[in-house]
Structure 1
Amino acid sequence: MPDLVSASGAHFPFSAVVGQDRLKLALVLSAVSPGIGGVLIRGEKGTAKSTIVRGLAPLLGETSRVVELPIGATEDRVVGSLDLTRVLRDGQAHFTPGLLAQADGGVLYIDEVNLLSDHLVDVLLDAAASGRVTVERDGVSHTQSAKFVLVGTMNPEEGELRPQLLDRFGLVVDVAGPRDVDERVSIVTSRMAYDADPDAFTADHRVAEDTLSARIAQARALLPTVALPTAELRRIAGICAHLDVDGLRGDIVMARTASAHAAWRGAVEVNEDDVRIAAELALPHRRRRNPFDDSSMSEEQLDEALGAGDEAASDDTTARDETGENETGENDPDGPDPDGPGTDGPGTDGPDPDGPDPDGPDPDGPDPDGPDNDPPGGGGATGPQFGATPGSGSARIRTFRAAGVGDGEPGRRSRARSTRGATVRDIEFGARTPVHLFGTVLSAARRSAGDGMPAVEPSDLRGAERVGTESNLVVFLVDLSGSMTARSRLAAVRDACVELLRDSYTRRDRVSVVVACGKDAYIAVPPTRSVDIAVARLAQVRTGGRTPLGEGLMRSVEVIDRAARTDPQRRPLLVVVSDGRATGGKDAARRAEAAADDVARRGVASVVVDCEQGFVKLGTAVSLARRLGAEYVPLADLADVGLAGRVRGVA
């Protein structure tokens, strides 16, 4: 559902969005208690993620705002920059605030936050941790307050979020389109009514919007007086301990969320229901240990964790009973309202604090592979599934890079020109080029020819060329023929593939997987930023049969050519995991040689991971590497520790 804005500039009303109760509740709780840390919204496209976030702004009060950070923004636009015109004209360093400072006291919204460049993620992490944005650049130091509620949306199929940034989001909500026919009809009806007359539609919901805004304000005012009993705090600690949540940020966020939920329902003390809501929203993404762990939490897992929390809370009650102390209860001696929250308090038209309909979206989120995206069977491959499983993370994979210096998106693999990194020389100044101060002063000095102190003029400006690192398109050509999967070799190859994919995840690459086995080669995973999806699809691939290595190289070239048309700045890196033997007819070896020569002529950077094992080796992978002009790496030497030991153990 695209963002909706009326002619007068009003967004689609927050209270008019049909469904998505859990998402609306998470946003409201973050508005009630900004210390929660914001909300990450994950889900498929067309689920009103952006519409709901933008509709929150009018509910936050006159002084609050929603500032959007475009994923393509420059660093200067985000953190602020010097006004060069005033510097040259007045001789004074005047600083223009960036988007982070503009969001101070409000909401910083990032659509497709998982696509945000790494250098902007670093800046965002600094601001989120300190509550300030600090610029130390070219001899100028400046700092401004930047306390904001961070809200981001993402489609997991387009790539994962860096763990450091994921941890900064207090709450996470997985959303999906409704499957109920009546709800879908209601959504379409609301959308058509808005399209027909946006201003009238907005006016019709003015009362509900005002009521919801007032309820948020009342909850904010009540929040400082909400009590968090020791028993409920022990319940929170017990839940986090049971789920092995790293650190104490999860405990703190849960405590703040439970208190905000109590204030939202008009209570003065946190109870077990508040803690349950907090666990559902604050903990799923904190259970993740490595890039391939599931970042959702099922109802069964939640119930089990809540059971551990109950035990921790009851321990506190037992201790109180033994010392003769009375447990603090609700102010109402009869206990909480059996009809549930919201019936007595203001704003009953707001989000349902009890969450969405249990018949609504799957709490585990959408199927990452989609309904109709099962990989092909491999054409003649009749062996077992490859069954790639999450790696242990103990291996340190050797770093493979594309040669030269590129101009691709920031990442952590190959050298590239960028706005960050080490300054290597001064160049002609441009609109997007940082100033090279020494080069500028030197240019002014040359122009003045030694006539006293040189005055810097606009024509003297020189830019700084900086070299950092970029991400690449890494195409994995995996040989899963019968010879590759014989005996214990399958486990070694599987570990190698998973660790290579893990390495691409940490380096922010796009990845694609081409499988060669059976009668032909095929593209098992088209280029994607989601390494999770690549691992999941590779696990379903059937192994065995012959080795159509030539066809695999040709399919890899097809992937590279197709990607170059849409993303020409991203350089490719081909990683061939094979023993180098081409089988499948008398011309199989010739086809492989011709395809390898074609890859070499194109200048594609490549690596051959030699999986040949045994005492007698044919050296076919070495010959393949020479034809490709590739770096040659025996499988046993792929990693320094962990994986290397496992591979040598089966060699």
Structure 2
Amino acid sequence: MQQLYPFPAVLGGDPDAPGGLDDMALALVLSAISPGIGGVLIRGEKGTAKSTLVRALAQVLPPIDVVSGDRFSSDPAEAHPLSPDGPFPADADVETRPVRLVELPVGATEDRLLGSIHLERALGDGVVEFEPGLLARANRGILYVDEVNLLADHLVDLLLDAAAMGRLTVERDSVSVTHAARFVIVGTMNPEEGELRPQLLDRFGLTVEVSAPRDPALRAEAVRRRLAFDADPEGFAGRFAAAEEKLRARIRQAQQLLPRVLLTDTALVKIGEICAAFDVDGLRGDIVCARTAVAHAAWQGRDAVNVEDLRVAARLALPHRRRRKPFDAPGLDEAELDELLPPEDSGPEPDPDGPDGPEPDGPEPDGGNAAPPEQGAPAPSGPGSTSTVAADSPYRARLFTVDGLGAGRAGRRSRARTSSGRRMGATAANFAGGLHLFETLRAAAPHQGTRGRIGGRMILRADDLRRAVREGREANLVLFVVDTSGSMAAAERMRHVKTAIASLLLDAYRRRDRVAVVTFRGTQAELVLPATGSVEIAAVRLDEVSAGGRTPLAEGLLEAGEVIRRERLRDPACRPLLVVLTDGRATSGDDPVGRSHQAAIHLADQGFSAVVVDCENGRMRLGLARTLADRLRAEYVPLPQVSAEALTDIVKGAA
């Protein structure tokens, strides 16, 4: 058995070390003490020990008793365990084993997650038998989903519903089964690769943000420990065996104390005040706060919840529930929390005129008292400077899709073959999807004579199996090519352009796309944002873009072609959607118009689906963007028609 890195060896994972458990380790421990909290979502950059700590958690949890031979890990102490393998006799054999850590791969199918009929027995013996999935195996354990933000939305919905209900009902493939599914769900993700929808964020009980330490001494210690573990895993684990056992005993004591912890009405009202002050929707936040506060009190060995328990609960349970809009980052204002939850013994108030009082009136260093520029106003400019304006609130954008039928990762934009969706036919069994029973029998039927069948059951072979071909929707790479030259620099025009981009980004967020951004001005184009699943980062980068200078349109198109080439090398199934926002002018370099048209024709010959958004305004229009769209063989859309509402009005007017 592979030796795992010890939990207390991770920086912040030893409660007896200076500073105790950090938020990531504490959230995991509290969820293990009280699974009703609803699990943990860990957000952070790569290389911050997220997966290491989660995998180490199972090693420090107390072992559990299960009914021997039961595939659903039933608790022998339960009077009526919810297991399809039951009922069990009163003297059923009991075994003690460690808590399981079950990992759900990003590419898992619905059958793998929920379970399905046992295919071999169904086809060979004619017996319908349920084969449990990963959720059954995770019962009374930990279900770990690395890169949960890349998991298909319908799978995230299923596992979060099961975690909330504590049971799973499977109604499919001629089986109807209900079994217990009580597990601690832990998801890890890198926000740069894309965000979870706010509705799914809310289903996780706790969330923490992690980052690598900036203290060189701490970084060196982390590397020192990792190198020591790699050199001698068993010897390194032995150094922390006592700390692991001590942590395991403390978790066991907290689990035993949990039912006896008192949560007073005063504490419940205070939780309500905190959630209302932070404008938390619904009551799930209040419930999770209450359960977390009780778990933290048990962890600290107390039999009643106090202010510190409420503070920890709010800090872990509320940040992701404050996210009001898709581009808002999760977070919690701890200064506001301190006002709502003053320490129980805060001491005397500071003297306002004393050394801890406010600074005397007067200018702060570096002009700190100067009023900030008004939002959306251009920055101070001099000769040759550029201007920056902010977008207005985004609107609902019309849907642009990639032509044809793809086979990319599941999403909500363009037509594609997927593992879920409408069944369109069948193909050989190596294609991902559910079994197509009728097509399997039809493939086997012509060969029954040569296989020696005389009555009885049909004789099937592996090459007879057919799986359903389904058509659904895929996510795409949406590449924005944005003209930021002087012709676009008028504040009102750039504001409209940035608002349109923000609206298209919001649409990309909802459709689970990846996005990239190329801008061009002066004499060159720049890849402002490489392809990423985080439209939040794209929104920030575009909001910072300034405009000015000449218009190198050809360079912008060629850079877009290079970006797409690299992305197709990484993912041959990638189908890009090119969105060019420009007024069509080209003024930089020799023969700028001819070069831009040649670049457009070159891109068109590669078969990209493209949209040209015409940003030209005013009464006198040159129509250059329409000409560019013709060369690019792209859909031409005037800027005002990016709005879905505006398109609806046009259709109604033409009817």
TM-score range, shorter chain: 0.7 to 0.9
2:400 match: 400
For residues 236-286 of structure 1, give each alpha carbon's deviation from its aligned partner in whole angstroms, at most 9, with x where no partner exists. Answer: 111111111111111111111111111111111111111111111111111
1:26 match: 27
Inter-CA distance 497–432: structure 2 relative to 1 (3 Å threshold)? closer
Pick from 146, 149, 161 the counterpart of residue 196 of structure 2.
161
Report how many residues are paired.
567
Give the Å deviation of 1:453.
8.8
Give the Å deviation of 1:103.
0.6
1:570 match: 574
1:553 match: 557
Q: Secondary structure at the match of 1:488?
A: helix
Give the Å deviation of 1:11.
1.4
Q: What is the percent sequence identity of the aligned residues?
A: 54
1:52 aligns with 2:53: yes
Q: Are the equivalent residues in 1 in contact too, given 2:130–2:175 (CA < 8 A)?
A: no
Inter-CA distance 517–138: structure 2 relative to 1 (3 Å threshold)? same
2:329 match: 294
For residues 511-536 of structure 1, give each alpha carbon's deviation from its aligned partner in whole angstroms, at most 9, with x where no partner exists. Answer: 11010222221111111111111112
Which structure has more RCO (C-alpha within 8 Å, separation ≥ 6)?
1
Q: TM-score, normalised by structure 2?
A: 0.82
2:607 match: 603
1:307 match: 339
1:80 match: 115
1:237 match: 272
Q: Distance in 1 between matches of 2:586 and 2:432?
A: 49
Q: Are the equivalent residues in 2 in contact too, given 1:132–1:144 (CA < 8 A)?
A: yes
Q: Are the equivalent residues in 1 in contact too, given 2:432–2:467 (CA < 8 A)?
A: no
Question: Which has the higher mean CA deviation after the structures are superposed, 251-260 or 228-237?
Answer: 228-237
1:117 match: 152
2:380 match: none
1:13 match: 6
Inter-CA distance 622–55: structure 2 relative to 1 (3 Å threshold)? same
Q: Secondary structure at the match of 1:416?
A: strand
Q: TM-score, normalised by structure 1?
A: 0.82
Q: Secondary structure at the match of 1:483?
A: helix
Q: Are the equivalent residues in 2 in contact too, given 1:386–1:543 (CA < 8 A)?
A: no
Inter-CA distance 560–381: structure 2 relative to 1 (3 Å threshold)? farther
Q: Are the equivalent residues in 2 in contact too, given 1:42–1:174 (CA < 8 A)?
A: yes
For residues 296-343 of structure 1, give each alpha carbon's deviation from its aligned partner in whole angstroms, at most 9, with x where no partner exists. Answer: 22xxx2231442467xx9xxxxxxxxxxxxxxxxxxxxx99x9xxxxx
Q: Distance in 1 between matches of 2:600 and 2:384?
A: 23
Q: Secondary structure at the match of 2:644?
A: coil
Pick from 617, 626, 630 the counterpart of residue 626 of structure 1.
630
Give the Å deviation of 1:566.
0.6
Q: Distance in 2 between matches of 1:239 and 1:285?
A: 14
Give the Å deviation of 1:432.
3.5
* 1:171-186 to 2 correspondences below 5 Å: 171-186=206-221
Q: Distance in 2 between matches of 1:271 and 1:616?
A: 70
Inter-CA distance 91–558: structure 2 relative to 1 (3 Å threshold)? same
Give the Å deviation of 1:504.
0.9
Q: Secondary structure at the match of 1:213?
A: helix
1:427 match: 427
* 1:146-545 to 2 correspondences below 5 Å: 146-297=181-332, 301-308=333-340, 382-388=385-391, 392=393, 395-430=395-430, 432-444=432-444, 455=458, 457-458=460-461, 460-545=464-549
Q: Are the equivalent residues in 2 in contact too, given 1:476–1:511 (CA < 8 A)?
A: yes
Give the Å deviation of 1:556.
0.4
1:328 match: none
1:62 aligns with 2:63: yes
Q: Distance in 1 between matches of 2:564 and 2:605?
A: 14
Q: Are the equivalent residues in 2 in contact too, given 1:515–1:523 (CA < 8 A)?
A: yes
Instruction: List structure 1 segments (4+ residues) > 6 angstroms apart after TM superposition.
Output: 448-454, 642-645
Inter-CA distance 400–445: structure 2 relative to 1 (3 Å threshold)? same
Q: Distance in 1 between matches of 2:606 and 2:3?
A: 52
Q: Are the equivalent residues in 1 in contact too, given 2:523–2:589 (CA < 8 A)?
A: no
Q: Distance in 2 between matches of 1:482 and 1:166?
A: 41
CA RMSD of aligned residues (A): 2.6
AA paired with 2:458?
A
Q: Distance in 2 between matches of 1:487 and 1:142?
A: 62
Gaps of 5+ in 2: 14-21, 65-98, 348-382, 650-655
Give the Å deviation of 1:468.
0.8
Give the Å deviation of 1:203.
2.1
Gaps of 5+ in 1: 1-7, 314-334, 339-379, 646-651
Q: Are the equivalent residues in 1 in contact too, given 2:311–2:341 (CA < 8 A)?
A: no
AA paired with 1:149?
V
Inter-CA distance 199–642: structure 2 relative to 1 (3 Å threshold)? farther
Inter-CA distance 568–382: structure 2 relative to 1 (3 Å threshold)? farther
Question: Which has the higher mean CA deviation after the structures are superposed, 262-271 or 183-192?
Answer: 183-192
Give the Å deviation of 1:226.
0.9
Question: Which has the higher mean CA deviation after the structures are superposed, 550-559 or 625-634?
Answer: 625-634
Q: Are the equivalent residues in 1 in contact too, given 2:426–2:439 (CA < 8 A)?
A: yes
Inter-CA distance 561–381: structure 2 relative to 1 (3 Å threshold)? farther
1:327 match: none
Q: Distance in 2 between matches of 1:400 and 1:621?
A: 18
AA paired with 2:336?
E
